[in-house]
Amino acid sequence: MSIEFLLNTAIILLIGFICSSIANRLRLPHSLPLIIGGMLLNLIHFKGIPLIQMPTEILFGFATIALCIAAFDASSRFRIKHLTQDIKITLKLTAFTAGLNIIFLTPTIQALFFSDGFTSLNIWLGSLVLAVMMSEVSLDNVSISFQKVKNRAVCILENESIINTPILLILAFIILDLSKAGSTILVASSYIMTHIALSICSALLVGIIFFRFMRGTYSEIYSPFALIVGVLLSYVLAVMTGGNGFIAASLVGLFFGRVYIEKKTQLQEFSSVFAVFLEMFVYLLLGLTISMRVDLSFMLFSLIIYVAILFIRFIAVQLSLGGIYTLQEKLFMTVNTPKGISIAALALFLSFFSSDMVVIVDLSVMLILFSTIAHSFLMWSKEEIK
């Protein structure tokens, strides 16, 4: 291991600590200063080369691990019985938001950013994944930011964030699998069903072995370690058998959330702490690895896409809630849709998925920043929300 790699890692950790401290001091979501910090760090050059240079293999490996852990962490929190409001409203809001984004946002992205002519299948799939990603609501950002404000609008957002993140992640993974499927509907459907079946089998096998072992025994040292190993092993087993590793990791999280395990709360706290550590790296590396376009047209088109997302979200809220909620509550649920570590990890993974995804990743970062800024303003003014 070279001294340059260790130095780069130390610099990233230092910048991450500084950005996280600034976020805590200013009461901001950590994603905002971390991504900006990574982008600024990417601008620093020494002797004509970037100051921070990480091997592509290491970045790809880290992005894969981060996405596996993020998928597991989001799925493990999926609890229908913990929902505090009518589940039908939450499911309708998730379905309308994702469905309308897929129908209207995908062609809008294509029209604004890829209007030069024919675009590859990967770009269309990337636009589709981005539309799905923008339907997500981060549980961590909502529950932490509004933990002292418990009104029915906040409760709906918390319920939505519990349900939609694991569902949307699995949907995004299935969409990405289409890039390797056949050209006909029958072949593609068979390919996807086979992938899903192999992923379920891998998750079940790992879940039965590891969770049976952990069911009656708990070790402060080895149980958390076994949990992480189990998640990564489910990914490797699914990939080796021809399945989707990320779907397998998500399903392991679902199984973990439903079975009895000794001191499960402590294990979930460990996975959450581990996810926070990954959060620092993911957001910084996302800022480091993107090829950010600073021209005015890209910024303008990104802003148009964000406004379109808000408009679609308001329609989804209106269709889901009808006349039950006030206009102020509907606007609050429209604007307050911060994106979490799961979406950031997926965007980082997309940067290595295909060279065609450069614009999609850049746009993802801009939309994450826009949604985080809007969420920050709402967080600062939360005392005025009744």
Contact status, residue 249 vs residue 173, Cβ threshold 8 Å? no
What is the pLDDT confidence band of residue 58, given thresholds at 50, 70 and 90?
confident
| Structure tokens belonging to residue 92 | 């309708």
What is the pLDDT confidence band of residue 258, given thresholds at 50, 70 and 90?
confident
The class level of CATH for 3-384 reads: mainly alpha
**DSSP label at residue 47:** T
List Cβ neighbours of 125 (8 Å cut-off, separation of 6 or more).
175, 176, 178, 179
Q: How many CB atoms lie within 10 A of CB 259?
A: 14
CA-to-CA distance for 26 and 134, rounded, in angstroms?
25
Query: Among 318, 371, 314, which residue's Cα sits nearest to residue 344?
Result: 371
- Amino acid 366 reads M
Give pTM, 2 decimals.
Answer: 0.84
Where does 146-240 have alpha helices with state H? 152-177, 185-215, 222-240
Helical axes 152-177 vs 245-258, angle rounded to 10°: 140
What are the pLDDT digits (tens) for 4-46? 778 888 888 888 888 888 888 877 778 888 888 888 888 887 7
What are the pLDDT digits (tens) for 283-333? 888 888 776 556 788 889 999 999 999 999 999 999 988 777 888 888 888
Q: Domain map of the chain by residue range?
A: 3-384
CA atoms lying within 13 Å on the CB side of residue 49? 3
